[in-house]
């Protein structure tokens, strides 16, 4: 995770939790000659350099930070649960065998140009394909979100989060969107004592964070290796044969 710069926008939205504002977060500074003047006006008003990627987050009025404030990995804490969203890998236009896993047509016995086709797409009664028919088309490049993933380790030097869960959607080195988990069971664990830094983490020269922060249930690589005590193994003798009970007449 690289440093993010926050640009506050005055646009607001009314929700059940009250009025929420919109914070625009940018990632990776770029050359201003590559963008239009309308795009550069966003950063000129905020007083920061142009960013390659922008996204929006809804925030409350007491969570507003100054434009240009960097966001670090310490914004989250070890043991927290987050939701991660991104676009899946795009494969372009693909057939039904690769896109939906169809078997295809026969390989021999008179089959001509039917090896990778799907077959019939509907009956002759309706005279139209049924809605939702699995056909060839663009595969991937869709927004997918994984919810309730636990943070096991944080590297404050390089701003890296180590998160448990399945593979995060998207190709390698892609942009992802990280939010606090919205699942009720994960939000109940947050208390006043264990509340994350609000509105964000501000680095302090007097109290510097350690380079690596591990969860209690995770083995720290700085500690000594795991040692097993010596113990005796008792051998279990196998029974040579089963005892047969004789029935007396």
Which residues lie across from 145 on neighbouring strands?
85
pLDDT number for residue 66: 87
Domain contains 156:
no
Domain contains 192:
no
- 41: its two tokens: 């006006």
CB 21 within 8 A of CB 8: yes
Domain contains 34:
no
Domain contains 122:
yes
pLDDT number for residue 227: 75
Which residues lie across from 137 on neighbouring strands?
94
Burial class (CB in 10 A: 0-12, 13-18, 19+), 156: middle
- Global confidence as pTM: 0.74
Q: Are strands 51-59 and 70-71 parallel, antiparallel or unpaired?
A: unpaired
Q: Is there a cis peptide before residue 171, judged by omega within 30 degrees of 0?
A: no
Instruction: Please state the domain count of the chain.
Output: 1
- Secondary structure (DSSP) of 142-181: -EEEEEEEEEEEEETTTTEEEE-SSPPSS-TT---EEEE-
Nearby residues of 247 by Cβ (< 8 Å), 6 or more positions away: none
Domain contains 103:
yes
pLDDT number for residue 217: 85
Domain contains 150:
no
pLDDT number for residue 32: 93
Nearby residues of 232 by Cβ (< 8 Å), 6 or more positions away: none
- Chunked in runs of 10, what are the mean pLDDT values of the chain (249 residues)? 46 65 89 93 89 89 86 90 94 96 89 90 80 93 94 93 89 92 82 74 84 87 76 71 53
- 83: its two tokens: 């939701």
Domain residues for 131?
Answer: 96-135
Domain contains 119:
yes
Domain contains 72:
no
């Amino acid at each position: 995770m690289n440093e993010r710069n926050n640009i506050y926008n005055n646009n607001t939205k009314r929700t059940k939790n009250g009025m929420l504002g919109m914070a625009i977060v940018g990632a990776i500074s770029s050359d201003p000659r590559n963008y239009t003047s309308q795009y550069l006006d966003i950063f000129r008003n905020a007083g920061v350099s142009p960013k390659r990627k922008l996204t929006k987050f809804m925030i409350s009025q007491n969570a507003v930070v100054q434009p240009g404030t960097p966001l670090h990995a310490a914004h989250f804490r070890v043991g927290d649960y987050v939701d991660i969203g991104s676009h899946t890998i795009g494969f372009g236009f693909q057939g039904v065998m690769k896109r939906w896993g169809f078997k295809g047509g026969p390989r021999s016995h008179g089959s001509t140009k039917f090896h990778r086709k799907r077959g019939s797409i509907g009956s002759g009664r309706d005279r139209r394909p049924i809605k939702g028919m699995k056909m060839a088309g663009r595969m991937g490049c869709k927004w997918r979100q994984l919810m309730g993933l636990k943070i096991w380790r944080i590297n404050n030097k390089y701003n890296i989060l180590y998160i448990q869960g399945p593979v995060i959607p998207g190709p390698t080195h892609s942009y992802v969107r990280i939010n606090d988990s919205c699942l009720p069971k994960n939000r109940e664990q947050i208390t006043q004592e264990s509340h994350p830094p609000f509105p964000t983490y501000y680095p302090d020269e007097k109290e510097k964070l350690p380079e690596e922060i591990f969860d209690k249930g995770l083995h720290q690589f700085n500690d000594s290796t795991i040692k097993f005590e010596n113990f005796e193994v008792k051998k279990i003798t196998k029974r040579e044969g089963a005892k047969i009970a004789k029935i007396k007449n």
